[in-house]
Amino acid sequence: TWMNKNWGLGPFVFRALDDTSVAEATNISELVREIGHVPGDVLVKHVKDGDLSRWLRMRADFKVAQQLEELDVEQLHSERVRDAVLHALRIKRPSKMIKVEPFSTKEWERNSLFKIGEGS
């Protein structure tokens, strides 16, 4: 949809120059994997047009998005662009690993929940 494409919502769709879909990623791990496989000209197009940085900003990866916007893709061979993007995603990205534990009624303490404000 228009919002997915222009605002960076939904999955990231890698599109060839003729607008055909080449690959798709729904999260950062998939994005990294697909970046390793998409044709160089497709990747360069998405970096140059700001598509990758827009998608990353919508996922609060502002630092990586900024790094991609600062890449001078005109001066780099497509494989160097790929290396720079992968480096930014793998190395420069702060760790945001949060483990969500499954709810267990055995471990739940009735007094462990509390009320914040009115109506909750």
Q: What is the mean pLDDT of residues 70-83?
A: 87
Q: What is the mean pLDDT of residues 85-94?
A: 76
| Helix 78-87, helix 28-35: angle, nearest 10 | 160
Answer with the residue of higher pLDDT: 9 or 21.
21
92-97's contacts with Cβ under 8 Å and 24+ in sequence apart are 92/63, 92/64, 92/67, 93/28, 93/61, 93/63, 93/64, 94/63
Q: What is the mean pLDDT of residues 65-73?
A: 90
Q: What is the mean pLDDT of residues 28-56?
A: 93
- Among candidates 45, 49, 43, which has minimal Cα distance to 89? 43
Range of lowest pLDDT (5-9, 13-17, 76-80)? 5-9
The pLDDT of residue 74 is 83
Sorted by sequence, the CB contacts under 8 Å of residue 64 that are 6+ apart come out as 53, 56, 88, 89, 92, 93
Q: For residue 100, name the pLDDT band (cuts at 50, 70, 90).
A: low
The pLDDT of residue 76 is 82
Q: Tell me the percentage of the chain whose pLDDT exceeds 90.
A: 43
pLDDT at 55 over 70: yes
